[in-house]
Structure 1
């Protein structure tokens, strides 16, 4: 039975589609349609004009950002076969044609032709739960960056108005420190309190952990502060707003973690790896998807972009090779964060890390080596569905 092949060049607002038959002949030219329900219907109406009875139709599109997902969902929902292609494959196919032309029409044709020859490694479309986890864990990365930036900005204000304050606490963003700042943003404000009132306040805010000694330290720092003494109202307002923003972000991150935990559950064998917590395990699982996509741990290492690049020229081979940083940046980040913790808490990886440092490796290079070893462990655990064994 003959087939029709539809290559779709994906974009944010409008897509381009080209239909070809099994001989590679373009049917009806290329059409442009909007990324809407009406646009999807326009595409189907155009394609079915060339269909003879039950002629199979194969749609193909690149995994371009997130813009392909809505059209893919639409086509699959209508009962059609839709294949998602890695952009690297279509780019390689372009080289076969030795084409320097890159237009939407040209790209749509190349995708259709790639479908026709069938030499495609399909990009797997994740399950609904995996997509949900991926959305939330990636959003969490964004929120965490905002939180870090907010903390940096708070410290910037304190550096100007009350530079001594952060050093008074083991954690400048602990509950007690933040609660005091929410009430009193400047040294002058703290100085207005009597020793007794400040002691009672500190004791109340810290639930008895701190008392007179901390109050005395605060009073001494406030009275001898080297902070600026002008435009304090503006700095005070800025600090209040930043502290409010900090509280919102912390609350939102807690909410995200709760939802991620619900989706991910507690059954994953990745949770048996010392140093890999629930949120990190969820992020790693969401980014990897189906482990069967990878035949070896080396493929997973490459997918994460933590494989070292090799610099060679003639007889020279570099020994300070950097990570390739190709592949999933979110998986790479999750693996890196897990490796930092595992190099301290996981007996196997801690020993491996210390050995690399003894060999003269820079600490960051040693962490990179840990991340590759950890990825191998993760690959085996997910492939065999077995717990981590020391």
Structure 2
């Protein structure tokens, strides 16, 4: 395959703008636009197939920016089309950052759909650092949708909790510092924040009633509910008073925010159940790694989509996940700090990092590695150690997915004589 037809497509919600190019960078036809639907895709297929025949090409390479989901139906239709599959067909969903940086190599280009299609085709012609070709995998793609939604829920939940804490400071400024409950978002703490409109209401209730309320809402699990009540009264006495006009709005905002948090947590549990159900159809041994539950196993498996795509090479999987640190060197200068690149698959990187953090809590080898990396630097200790532990987990995951063997911890050498 030495003579492929290069096709750049600028994808939008309603239209797709197309540029046809050969390997020498010459445009083969005027740029054109088709609708982004089934008839438009068929018109695109006919024009591309005719161009392949006229130009005596032996392959078709098509690239488009992976903007939202607007590209997905188009690529999935092209992959399954029997006319295009008469030739070797490769479809590349490009990260928009690739084309945005490549555009900077040109001078004084207009920002126009026709120009964008040309930039995409020319970036495809360069051919370096292209993503893996698109392939719809019926086994992994449904699971990938669920795990990415789980990623979205986890971040949305964290964001809402941070937003809730900001209003909690207005209502009771000492609540998080004095910590009347171990978990701000626990059942007893939520009940207190939702039942009492202000900290003055907490201070006004009789102490015995407050103890009984905390004990009841805590489902009788507190060892000493009176101690929790004392700290709660201390919060009421030490916090800044909120103006009367703001008490009701702040209380309502806290109630709504806590209800949204409860809903997101319930939704997260439902998604976890769906993930575990879909994961049962995929044979694997990642669940033998201590600390890796169904969610993290599914997230890693769904994003990798089969290690044969990476020739069973853990370095390629790590690069795909974005575990790469830039070096800074010039002349005799060698930079000491190397920053993690923000490229690669962010979902896979997230599941590796969070999974590695869970594994180090259960496995002595990973715990020792985390502690060693934590002590190496004075700044960003936890984040750095967690990312490096995630990178270490890549080697283990690729090995288990390749060999289909269960995880066996390394035997400690007995140094006693």
TM (norm. structure 2) is 0.78
2:392 aligned partner? 373
Q: 1:360 Cα shift? A: 5.6
Distance 1:42 1:76 in 2: 15
Which of 258, 263, 274 pairs up with 1:259?
274
Which of 195, 220, 231 pairs up with 1:208?
220
1:322 aligned partner? 339
Distance 2:277 2:299 in 1: 13
1:70-81 aligned at under 5 Å gives the runs 70-79=73-82, 80-81=84-85
Q: Secondary structure at the match of 1:224?
A: helix
2:150 aligned partner? 140
Which of 159, 165, 173 pairs up with 1:155?
165
Q: 1:239 Cα shift? A: 0.9
| Closer, same or farther: CA 4–84 of 1 in aligned 2, 3 Å | closer
Distance 2:310 2:49 in 1: 37
Q: Secondary structure at the match of 2:11?
A: coil
Distance 1:135 1:200 in 2: 46
1:353-364 aligned at under 5 Å gives the runs 353-357=370-374, 363-364=381-382
Q: 1:129 Cα shift? A: 3.8
**Structure 1 contact 6–60 (Cα < 8 Å) conserved:** yes
Q: 1:324 Cα shift? A: 2.5
Unmatched 5+ stretches in structure 1: none
1:179-258 aligned at under 5 Å gives the runs 179-210=191-222, 212-214=225-227, 216-217=229-230, 220-221=233-234, 224-230=237-243, 231-258=246-273
* CA deviation string 1:330-387 (max 9, x = no partner): 2112222122222332221112223344556763433333222211111111122222
| Closer, same or farther: CA 267–201 of 1 in aligned 2, 3 Å | farther
TM (norm. structure 1) is 0.83
Q: 1:86 Cα shift? A: 5.6
Q: 1:71 Cα shift? A: 0.4
1:40 aligned partner? 41
Q: 1:74 Cα shift? A: 2.1
Distance 1:361 1:138 in 2: 33
* CA deviation string 1:210-258 (max 9, x = no partner): 3651564266236524232312111111111111111111111112111
2:71 aligned partner? 68
Structure 1 stretch displaced more, 214-223 or 196-205: 214-223
Distance 1:281 1:212 in 2: 39
Q: 1:291 Cα shift? A: 0.9
Matching of residue 85 in structure 1 with residue 86 in structure 2: no
1:284 aligned partner? 300
Q: How many residues align?
A: 383
Q: Give RMSD over aligned pairs.
A: 3.7
Q: Secondary structure at the match of 1:163?
A: coil
Q: 1:46 Cα shift? A: 3.7
Q: Secondary structure at the match of 1:29?
A: coil
Distance 2:171 2:98 in 1: 55
Distance 1:307 1:361 in 2: 21
| Closer, same or farther: CA 343–47 of 1 in aligned 2, 3 Å | closer
2:10 aligned partner? 10
Structure 1 stretch displaced more, 249-258 or 198-207: 198-207
Unmatched 5+ stretches in structure 2: 410-417
Q: Secondary structure at the match of 1:125?
A: coil
| Closer, same or farther: CA 125–207 of 1 in aligned 2, 3 Å | same
1:325-364 aligned at under 5 Å gives the runs 325-357=342-374, 363-364=381-382
| Closer, same or farther: CA 281–121 of 1 in aligned 2, 3 Å | closer
Q: 1:127 Cα shift? A: 1.2
2:32 aligned partner? 31
Q: 1:275 Cα shift? A: 2.8
Distance 2:159 2:234 in 1: 26
Q: 1:312 Cα shift? A: 2.0
Distance 2:163 2:388 in 1: 34
* CA deviation string 1:139-174 (max 9, x = no partner): 222222221122122222222222343400111111
**Structure 1 contact 5–113 (Cα < 8 Å) conserved:** no
**Structure 1 contact 60–111 (Cα < 8 Å) conserved:** no
1:309 aligned partner? 326
